[in-house]
Amino acid sequence: MVKQRYLIAIGLSGFVIVYLAVDFISVAHFYYLPTQGSFRLGHPPIDTIAMSYWGQILWGILGSAVSVILAALLPKISEKVAVSWAIGFCLLAVAYFLWGLWPF
């Protein structure tokens, strides 16, 4: 059970870090154009409605998988430390995306 919580915390951390990085660094990713009913790869256009979270979620899943594989291969840190970092990264993500909505 301890190993499972540890890997979940590491996976969540990897997901959040990569999800934020894709938005912050502006990495090319899949996005959906609901008016055209199609998926595209690249940067979403500014003049149309684009749902870019599909590509961010895919990048996040990739980051989660890589972080879990690395956590299984590398020396283990404390479970409490891993959970604390995961909570901290989630709070950072909430703060980052709330800041993008400013001034509400």
Please say if the pLDDT value at position 15 is more than 70.
yes
The per-residue pLDDT for 20 is 93
- How far from the centroid of its chain's Cα atoms is residue 33's Cα? 21
Instruction: Kindly report the length of the chain.
Output: 104
Reduced 3-state DSSP string for the chain:
CHHHHHHHHHHHHHHHHHHHHHHHHCCCEEEEECCCCEEEEECCCCCCCCECHHHHHHHHHHHHHHHHHHHHHCCCCCHHHHHHHHHHHHHHHHHHHHHHCCCC
pLDDT of 44-80, one tens digit each?
888 889 898 889 999 999 999 999 999 989 888 898 9
**Confidence band (pLDDT; 50, 70, 90) for 103?**
confident
